[in-house]
């Protein structure tokens, strides 16, 4: 883009908005809302500009900015985008304004709330575009602070423990990951993701680690595996992978709705993004080494979370587990990629399908899950905080528009063909089946249970006898309809024309797959 | 000649001026002290620029690293000189002292009991600390070191709070025992070398026999490291910090603990590298225990200030661990951590001691829980939140850049302790989050009695003080290169020639 640092501008646009919001008069709530929305729309504008200027045919990173930062510790300011980053940035830019609009119920310290949301957006943009560990980790960690306060200060009755649990779980993963990367830095002298991927493919990272550490006589493989485990833990908590998920239901259900939208739509993507950007390129050998346990984790995540969702009675918790379930398919796709190595060219078609599916699934889930939580938020506002599965009934008679639109989102989440969710999951299953047959076959069980519990929600909340309590439940207002309609439209667009997204990521996917030789 | 020597002279001139101030104008003492401290800070900055210009960059010539600041024969018969000099490490710590001194005065703006004496002792302490960081003559260094202990005692004993006599006496006794050990070591080194000099640079080239080093090193190192909060000799730190008035606990944690770590590096490690080699894993173990132990004890405290006091022990463990890694990245991490902890601990103590305790008159966490402080004093809540996240070592704040380098260095030297330190960071996250929630962001029912009378708002000096420290930790967090460029090349100087032989540089 002719030397215009567009990624930096994009990243720091929300931060400027946050600074203005913090400095303003707290009583001017309306102005605060407009200001926050204005900055997030500006960010959406930059993201759209990036989307339009992105060259789908060019391999490698685009819009690169690279400056020295702290040479003494290998830190560079390096940002750039490939198809994966592009999709995630666009998703972030789309979801944040929707979440801001859905946050109109926040009346207490509104300006601080909005400022924290914008800070979180900066953290996400930074995470999705940074290409140097030091730089990336800064944003990865800093996004935790706004998320913590958003849960802690504006959450439900148990917000304190939920926020603490969320923060500390994530920090356990982050510290493990940090220690691993510091060891890698000590061994290789680099924090650059591209350079580390190269070294990882060649097996030079494990050799360098082995040369530098003589730790309790660990063998080369075991040492590299230990370092891998640290990095994996960092992402596993974030995604989350079962059994590292226990922070999630509490955090999602206690957070205010608009924050849950950000948590499920965007922050969970940080984990999957990290798997694709960091774990898979840098540790392909180690992933392959422990592939069977990893696939079991993926299957466990898919099936157990679906079953757990089925057992829940609180709508927010149902969708919290459902969110884990949907990200489980991403895990399955990512791990299946590492199944075969070398020049098995015929398999590259399957691998590309799986990886395309994973990225598409990230985008789709990032769109659908927040909208579902948005609907639950609307419902909660009307019911005075009630959101149990059995608290409602027959709503489709009382609030047909609400039920119709939420129904679309539910079916998108379920994976109905014609809506966005189907394409991603189909591609993952198509690609993963030949690569990891048993795991994919078992995962189908997850699809089945998902269908059951989503239909149960549909049945208990929308149909059945009308609960006399809610005879006067107001339907969606015009404003609320306008908030969700663009996203619903996008679900159809991607469902019918997935090429819009796949066209942007395909070159990146081919490149990643071609590089998976070790 | 570098102008840094004037940091010492200005501070002591300030002491004199304060003593001469008429009692009727005692209220002006704080202004005078502030002016003196600000002058000291500016001299520090100017000296740093002067130093950097004279040293040059890319590549730094090792012989330019240590620059003489002032040299005057003092007791020629014994080879004692008035010899002030500076390398990058001294400069960084002088800057830290300047910042801590200014902010400490801003946070003591409300002292109305004998303000003249308070600020006179305060400036004497600052002058002594500047002197230690600049002395390159062992005897002179020791004199300044002792000079810093005495005002510390009075500051706590007269203006302190909880158990102040006990805290002050414990601190003074620990300090004196430490200095006695140091003195024995220094004199022994003087005698054994037979070089008739107290000049640190000359002595550092003398190959002391290994047998001598094996007992002289722990003697001097631990003598200094007592003040740095080395476990299990740390017990003065929490009680001393708690008893001290706000400004004094800021200085204790911010600067005085650095005196210990600095002395351990500058004297013990420089003179006795062979002893260091023999003892390094033992001391690294103590440092690792200190990191985890300090954090675990902080986790269960009921007194707000004790949490911060024990957290200092834990964070200073990183300094000592970094020193023991004996490689350049770990050592520069240790020095950066000295700076970083000085800033962050200063901020934490400022919030606890000045912003909270002076208003609520309690530091009991269960009691604070009912006060809804985040609404009563939102500025303090925001400041403490920033300080808490900085203290956890989140990236973007100075603690991260420092601890990260210590950990990289430690991976090389002591992989097992690295994991121990990682555990310490996690417990650190936990206790910081706990205290943040209990003190400011509690969900407990507001205590009606406490809520009835509003707290006085945060004053302008407090806001300035907090802003200075927050700016420092964020700037160094985002651009650690500013200080690393000063610190890193220092380890290439001839002074550390012997040390480099035993480490991996």
Interface membership of B481 toward A (CB under 8 Å): yes
Interface membership of B441 toward A (CB under 8 Å): yes
Q: What is the pLDDT of residues B67-94, one digit of tens each?
A: 887 888 888 888 888 888 888 899 999 9
Angstrom CA distances, A461 to A251, A391, A404, stand at 23, 8, 12
CB pair distance less than 8 Å for B404 and A213? no
Interface membership of A291 toward B (CB under 8 Å): no
Are residues B102 and B34 in contact, defined by beta-carbon separation less than 8 angstroms? yes
A466-471's contacts with Cβ under 8 Å and 24+ in sequence apart are A466/A393, A466/A394, A466/A395, A466/A397, A466/A398, A467/A391, A467/A392, A467/A393, A467/A394, A469/A391, A470/A382, A470/A383, A470/A392, A470/A393, A470/A395, A470/A398, A471/A398
Determine the pLDDT at residue B290. 93
Strand partners, B169: none
- Coil, helix or strand at residue A63: strand
Determine the pLDDT at residue A232. 93
Interface membership of B321 toward A (CB under 8 Å): no
Nearest residue in A to B392, CA atom: A171
d(C-alpha A328, C-alpha A284), whole Å: 19
Are residues A191 and A172 in contact, defined by beta-carbon separation less than 8 angstroms? no
Q: Give B308's contacts (C-beta < 8 A, 6+ positions apart).
A: B241, B253, B298, B345, B348, B349, B352
Interface membership of A142 toward B (CB under 8 Å): yes
**Tokens 């500025």 found at:** B379
Whether residue B358 has pLDDT greater than 70: yes
Are residues A129 and A7 in contact, defined by beta-carbon separation less than 8 angstroms? yes
CA torsion through residues B493, B497, B502, B505, sign: positive
- Total structural domains in chain B? 1
Confidence of residue B447 (pLDDT cuts 50, 70, 90): low
Determine the pLDDT at residue A341. 63
Confidence of residue B111 (pLDDT cuts 50, 70, 90): confident
What phi and psi values does residue A249 have, to the nearest 5 degrees?
Answer: -55, -45
CA torsion through residues B496, B501, B502, B505, sign: positive
In the predicted model, what is the mean pLDDT of residues B18-38? 84
Determine the pLDDT at residue A274. 92
CB pair distance less than 8 Å for A164 and B408? no
Are residues A132 and B387 in contact, defined by beta-carbon separation less than 8 angstroms? no
CB pair distance less than 8 Å for B389 and A145? yes
CB pair distance less than 8 Å for A179 and B407? yes
Interface membership of A178 toward B (CB under 8 Å): yes
Determine the pLDDT at residue A59. 83
Closest CA–CA distance from residue A172 to any residue of chain B (Å): 7
Determine the pLDDT at residue A289. 86
d(C-alpha B450, C-alpha B443), whole Å: 15
Lowest mean pLDDT among B34-48, B241-255, B410-424: B241-255
In the predicted model, what is the mean pLDDT of residues B140-163? 86
Q: Which of residues 122-141 of A touch B (CB under 8 A)?
A: 134, 137-138, 141
Determine the pLDDT at residue B293. 94
Mutation choice for B interface testing from A8, A73, A75 by most B CBs within 10 A: A73
**Tokens 């000096």 found at:** B461
Lowest mean pLDDT among A373-377, B224-228, B239-243: B239-243
Closest CA–CA distance from residue A91 to any residue of chain B (Å): 25
Are residues B109 and B30 in contact, defined by beta-carbon separation less than 8 angstroms? yes
Are residues A50 and A10 in contact, defined by beta-carbon separation less than 8 angstroms? yes
d(C-alpha B411, C-alpha A234), whole Å: 19
Axis crossing angle, helix B304-324 with helix B236-243, rounded to the nearest 10: 140
Interface membership of B369 toward A (CB under 8 Å): no
Average pLDDT of chain B to the nearest whole number: 87
What domain range includes position B33?
5-502
CB pair distance less than 8 Å for B479 and A70? yes
DSSP state for residue A105 in the 8-state scheme: G
d(C-alpha B97, C-alpha B127), whole Å: 9
- Coil, helix or strand at residue A23: helix
Q: Which two tokens stand for residue A319?
A: 């969708």
Q: Which two tokens stand for residue B287?
A: 């440092």
Whether residue B368 has pLDDT greater than 60: yes
* 518 residues of chain A, pLDDT tens digit each: 567 888 999 999 999 999 998 888 888 888 888 999 999 999 999 999 999 988 888 888 888 888 888 888 888 888 999 889 999 999 999 999 999 998 887 888 888 999 999 999 999 999 999 999 988 999 999 899 999 999 988 888 888 889 999 999 999 999 999 999 998 998 888 888 888 888 888 888 888 888 877 666 778 888 888 889 999 999 999 988 988 998 999 999 888 989 999 999 999 999 999 999 999 888 888 888 898 899 999 999 999 999 999 998 888 999 999 999 999 999 999 988 887 665 666 678 888 888 999 999 999 999 999 999 999 988 888 888 788 888 887 888 888 888 899 999 999 998 888 888 898 999 999 988 888 888 999 999 988 999 998 888 888 888 888 877 777 888 888 888 988 999 999 999 999 998 888 888 888 888 888 887 76
Closest CA–CA distance from residue B425 to any residue of chain A (Å): 8
| CA proximity to B103, closest of B249, B247, B252 | B247
DSSP state for residue B364 in the 8-state scheme: B
Q: Give A492's contacts (C-beta < 8 A, 6+ positions apart).
A: A418, A419, A420
**Tokens 């649990």 found at:** A165
Mutation choice for B interface testing from A179, A231, A234 by most B CBs within 10 A: A179
Mutation choice for A interface testing from B92, B399, B408 by most A CBs within 10 A: B408
Determine the pLDDT at residue B155. 86
Closest CA–CA distance from residue B168 to any residue of chain A (Å): 37
d(C-alpha A103, C-alpha A110), whole Å: 9
| CA proximity to A240, closest of A136, A323, A145, A332 | A323
d(C-alpha B306, C-alpha B239), whole Å: 8
Interface membership of B437 toward A (CB under 8 Å): yes
| CA proximity to B139, closest of B257, B259, B267 | B267
Residues of B in contact with A213 (CB under 8 A): 411, 415
* E-only strand ranges, A227-348: none
| CA proximity to B315, closest of B285, B339, B279, B332 | B339
Q: Give A297's contacts (C-beta < 8 A, 6+ positions apart).
A: A236, A241, A242, A331
d(C-alpha A216, C-alpha A219), whole Å: 9
Angstrom CA distances, B503 to A309, A418, B321, B381, stand at 56, 66, 14, 44
Determine the pLDDT at residue A88. 93
Q: Supply the pTM of this predicted model.
A: 0.91
| Angle (CA) B252 B255 B257, round 5° | 65
Q: Which of residues 60-79 of A touch B (CB under 8 A)?
A: 69-73
């Amino acid at each position: 883009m002719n030397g215009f640092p567009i990624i930096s501008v994009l990243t720091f646009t929300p931060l400027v908005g946050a600074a203005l919001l913090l400095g303003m008069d707290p009583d001017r709530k309306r102005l605060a809302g407009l200001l926050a929305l204005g900055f997030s729309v500006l960010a959406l504008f930059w993201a759209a500009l990036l989307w339009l200027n992105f060259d789908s045919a060019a391999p490698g990173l685009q819009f690169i900015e690279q400056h020295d930062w702290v040479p003494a510790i290998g830190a560079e300011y390096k940002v750039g985008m490939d198809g994966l980053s592009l999709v995630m940035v666009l998703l972030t830019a789309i979801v944040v304004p929707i979440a801001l609009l859905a946050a109109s119920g926040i009346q207490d310290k509104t300006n601080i709330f909005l400022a924290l949301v914008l800070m979180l957006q900066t953290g996400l943009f930074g995470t999705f575009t940074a290409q140097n560990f030091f730089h990336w980790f800064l944003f990865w960690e800093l996004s935790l602070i706004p998320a913590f306060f958003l849960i802690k200060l504006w959450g439900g009755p148990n917000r304190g423990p939920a926020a603490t649990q969320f923060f500390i779980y994530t920090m356990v993963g982050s510290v493990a990951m940090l220690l691993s990367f510091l060891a890698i830095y000590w061994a290789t002298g680099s924090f650059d993701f591209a350079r580390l991927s190269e070294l990882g493919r060649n097996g030079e990272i494990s050799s360098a680690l082995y040369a530098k550490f003589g730790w309790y006589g660990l063998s080369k493989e075991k040492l590299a595996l230990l370092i891998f485990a640290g990095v994996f833990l960092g992402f596993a908590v974030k995604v989350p992978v079962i059994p590292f998920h226990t922070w999630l239901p509490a955090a999602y259900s206690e957070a205010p709705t608009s924050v849950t939208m950000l948590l499920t739509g965007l922050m969970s993507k940080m984990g999957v993004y990290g798997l694709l950007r960091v774990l898979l390129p840098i540790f392909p050998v180690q992933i392959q080494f422990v592939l069977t346990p990893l696939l079991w984790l993926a299957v466990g995540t898919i099936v157990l979370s679906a079953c757990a969702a089925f057992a829940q009675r609180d709508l927010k918790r149902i969708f919290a587990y459902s969110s884990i379930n949907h990200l489980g398919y991403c895990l399955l796709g990512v791990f299946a990629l590492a199944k075969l190595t070398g020049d098995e060219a015929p398999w590259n078609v399957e691998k590309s399908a799986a990886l395309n599916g994973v990225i598409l699934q990230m985008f789709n889930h990032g769109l659908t899950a927040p909208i579902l939580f948005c609907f639950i938020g609307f419902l909660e506002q009307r019911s005075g905080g009630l959101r149990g599965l059995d608290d409602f009934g027959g709503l489709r008679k009382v609030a047909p528009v609400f039920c119709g639109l939420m129904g679309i989102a539910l079916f998108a989440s379920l994976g109905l063909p014609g809506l966005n969710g189907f394409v991603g999951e189909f591609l993952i299953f198509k690609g993963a089946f030949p690569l990891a047959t048993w795991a994919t076959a078992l995962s189908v069980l997850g699809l089945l249970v998902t269908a059951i519990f989503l239909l149960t929600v549909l049945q208990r909340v929308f149909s059945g006898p009308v609960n006399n309590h809610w005879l006067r439940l107001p339907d969606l207002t015009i404003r609320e309809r306008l908030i969700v309609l663009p996203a619903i439209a996008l679900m159809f667009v991607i469902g019918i024309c997935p090429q819009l997204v796949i066209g942007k990521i395909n070159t990146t996917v081919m490149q990643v797959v071609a590089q998976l030789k070790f | 000649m570098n102008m840094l020597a004037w940091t010492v002279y200005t501070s002591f001139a300030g002491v004199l001026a304060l003593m001469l101030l008429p009692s009727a104008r005692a209220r002006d003492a704080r202004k005078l002290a502030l002016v003196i401290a600000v002058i000291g800070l500016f001299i520090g900055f100017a000296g740093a620029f002067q130093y950097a210009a004279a040293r040059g960059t890319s590549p730094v010539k090792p012989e330019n690293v240590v620059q003489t600041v002032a040299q005057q024969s003092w007791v020629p018969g014994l080879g004692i000189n008035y010899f002030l000099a500076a390398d990058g490490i001294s400069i960084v710590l002088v800057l830290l002292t300047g910042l801590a001194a200014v902010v400490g005065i801003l946070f003591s703006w409300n002292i109305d009991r004998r303000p003249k004496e308070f600020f006179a002792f305060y400036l004497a302490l600052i002058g002594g600390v500047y002197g230690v960081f600049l002395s390159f003559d062992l005897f002179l260094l020791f004199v300044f070191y002792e000079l810093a202990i005495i005002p510390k005692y009075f500051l706590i004993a007269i203006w302190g709070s909880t158990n102040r006599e006990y805290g002050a006496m414990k601190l003074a006794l620990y300090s004196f025992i430490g200095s006695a050990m140091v003195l024995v070591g220094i004199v022994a080194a003087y005698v054994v070398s037979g070089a008739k000099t107290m000049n640190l640079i000359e002595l550092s080239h003398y190959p002391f026999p290994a047998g001598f080093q094996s007992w002289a090193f722990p003697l001097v190192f631990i003598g200094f490291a007592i003040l740095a909060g080395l476990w299990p000799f740390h017990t003065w730190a929490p009680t001393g910090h708690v008893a001290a008035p706000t400004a004094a606990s800021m200085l204790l944690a911010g600067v005085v603990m650095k005196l210990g770590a600095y002395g351990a590096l500058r004297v013990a490690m420089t003179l006795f590298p062979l002893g260091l080699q023999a003892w390094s894993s033992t001391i690294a173990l103590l440092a690792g225990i200190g990191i985890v132990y300090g954090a675990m004890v902080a986790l269960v405290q009921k007194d707000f200030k004790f949490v911060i006091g024990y957290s200092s022990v834990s964070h200073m463990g990183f300094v000592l661990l970094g020193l023991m890694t004996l490689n350049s990245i770990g050592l520069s991490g240790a020095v950066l951590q000295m700076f970083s902890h000085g800033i962050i601990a200063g901020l934490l103590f400022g919030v606890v001691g000045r912003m909270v305790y002076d208003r609520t008159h309690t530091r009991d966490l269960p009691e604070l829980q009912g006060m809804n402080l985040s609404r009563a004093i939102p500025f303090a809540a925001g400041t403490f939140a920033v300080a808490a996240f900085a203290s956890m070592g989140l990236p973007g704040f100075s603690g991260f850049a420092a601890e990260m380098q210590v950990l990289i260095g430690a991976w090389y030297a002591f992989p097992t302790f690295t994991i121990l330190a990682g555990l310490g960071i996690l417990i650190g996250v936990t206790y910081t989050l706990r205290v943040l929630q209990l003190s400011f962001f509690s969900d407990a029912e507001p205590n009606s009695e406490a809520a009835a009378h509003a707290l006085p708002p945060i004053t302008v000096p407090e806001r300035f003080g907090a802003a200075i420290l927050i700016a420092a930790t964020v700037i160094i967090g985002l651009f650690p290169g500013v200080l690393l460029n000063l610190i890193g090349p220092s380890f290439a100087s001839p002074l550390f020639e012997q040390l480099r032989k035993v480490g991996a540089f």
